[in-house]
Structure 1
């Protein structure tokens, strides 16, 4: 492992400015990695992944999606996959070289579309509990959580309680100040999740069907080395969903991470990074 340092970076997306972090290795880089979070998350959801990957020699970027974290809320009001992919295209084109995209959930589907539709822009693809065939019940559970506190919270303790109820497999944080990365404090003093409420507007049925077809078509064209990391306890990606992805991308590697749910990287960051590191090591071989 080598030392690394972090700096703030910004990109211009189609819907406004996108905020990010970049971890730079002290030694010459082995390549570039782009971390894309899921819906309702921020770049901070990757935890120690950025510094660990940079310590292994990779220049690593993590970017807040439009309407999330410190990125601008979409000036055009669009939050569908088409808009997210447009932003991601701008980001990868600004990279020093084609990156390995590591995407969780919505971020994974974004990377999947990029890899299928713009193969020259992607060196490799890691899908973190993200496949074209997701389970409706799991997706509805996530949406219900995101809509569950429209009036916000009176304290960070209430925020911690809400997260603990949603993710009972995780320990409640001892230091609640870290939760400030996930929420914003309004003029009324209440804490609200760090995303634009407009992100939760459900798409019209024709758009949803078209988006699903686009994802599947892109997956069938992916040529880049691909790894699917599934949370063994996930209610969003099942073994059947993983099998469906492998039929679309026959060369894709697949691994389950025991004891983790949909938020694989956050549930067990060390095991997640072990699996990803092995995949990255293979990329460097002839």
Structure 2
């Protein structure tokens, strides 16, 4: 028998790709969206803390990543995948998106039908206020863009729309950002607070851009502490 803490295989068939993932735990749901170039397994240590606290975690490989099919070339395709994920989950799920995952979540939440099924959004070291030259420099500093160049440029082009959607969101928002080596500046955070003044901001010491890797326990604890009242 598979217990509540044993991973269970998930699969979503989209018109052009199959998305593969897993779920673990039982209770209120967190949908975990990884960063570009990552895989769903990055959430493993975070999920352990969340499951121990009585939550259920669902994580898919985004298209063109890990075990999922296809290629990630446009933000809208990733956002449509996120929408499909949300519609397979119970109402009042909390979406947690790191970097690309956070931006795809914002784009997906432009749809009222998606928003209606979500209790709140956690952005992990990402904001919709994207300054193209600085984003390109940062991404180049952490590794070659390679196959993701087209997706990066398309996402940067969507920045005005992402800001508009964020400003119109009536959902609770949490920004968790790294304290060391983060991709964000104080100005970025101020711009997010200008768009969505109700955002809660939590820094994580000892973490860079990939907080799920650097400080998974602190990330999970910050998410639990802030989102408990959202559902």
Aligned-partner SS, 1:276? helix
Larger Rg: 1
> Could you tell me which residue of structure 1 aligns to residue 87 of structure 2?
93
Distance in 1 (alpha carbons) for counterparts of 2:183 and 2:119: 26
Partners of 2:10 and 2:220 in 1: how far apart? 23
TM-score (norm 1): 0.72
Task: Map 1:1-286 onto structure 2 (within 5 A).
Answer: 4-25=5-26, 29=27, 31-74=28-71, 79-118=73-112, 119-134=115-130, 136-143=133-140, 145-147=142-144, 198-201=147-150, 207=154, 210-284=157-231
Does the 8 Å contact 2:93/2:120 carry over to 1? yes
3-state DSSP of counterpart to 1:108: helix
Instruction: Call closer, same or farther: CA 1:8–1:278 in 2, change over 3 Å.
Output: same
User: Does the 8 Å CA contact 1:115/1:224 hold for their aligned counterparts?
Assistant: no
Rounded Cα–Cα distance in structure 1 between residues aligned with 2:179 and 2:42: 19
Kindly provide the CA deviation profile for residues 183-225 of structure 1, in whole angstroms up to 9, marking residues without a partner as x: xxxxxxxxxxxxxx64333666xx5564111101110111111
**Does the 8 Å CA contact 1:231/1:256 hold for their aligned counterparts?**
yes
Query: Alpha carbons of 1:243 and 1:262: their partners in 2 closer, same or farther (altered >3 Å)?
Result: same
CA contact 2:32–2:97 (8 Å) conserved in 1: yes
**1:73–1:254 Cα change, 3 Å:** same
- Conserved 8 A contact 1:5-1:24: yes
Q: Relative to structure 2, which stretch is displaced further, 14-23 or 127-136?
A: 127-136
Instruction: Say which SS state the counterpart of residue 123 (structure 1) adopts.
Output: strand
Gaps of 5+ in 1: 149-196
Q: Number of residue pairs matched?
A: 226
Distance 2:13 2:7 in 1: 20
Out of 137-146 and 46-55, give the one that drifted further: 137-146
| Structure 2 unaligned regions, length at least 5 | none
The residue that corresponds to 1:166 in the other structure is none
Aligned residues of 1:14 and 1:87 also touching (Cα < 8 A): no
The secondary structure found in structure 1 opposite 2:65 is: coil
Summarize the Cα distance change of 1:133–1:33 in structure 2 as closer, same or farther, 3 Å threshold: same
Residues 208/49 of structure 1: CA separation in 2 closer, same or farther (3 Å cut): closer
Deviation at 1:234, TM superposition (A): 3.5
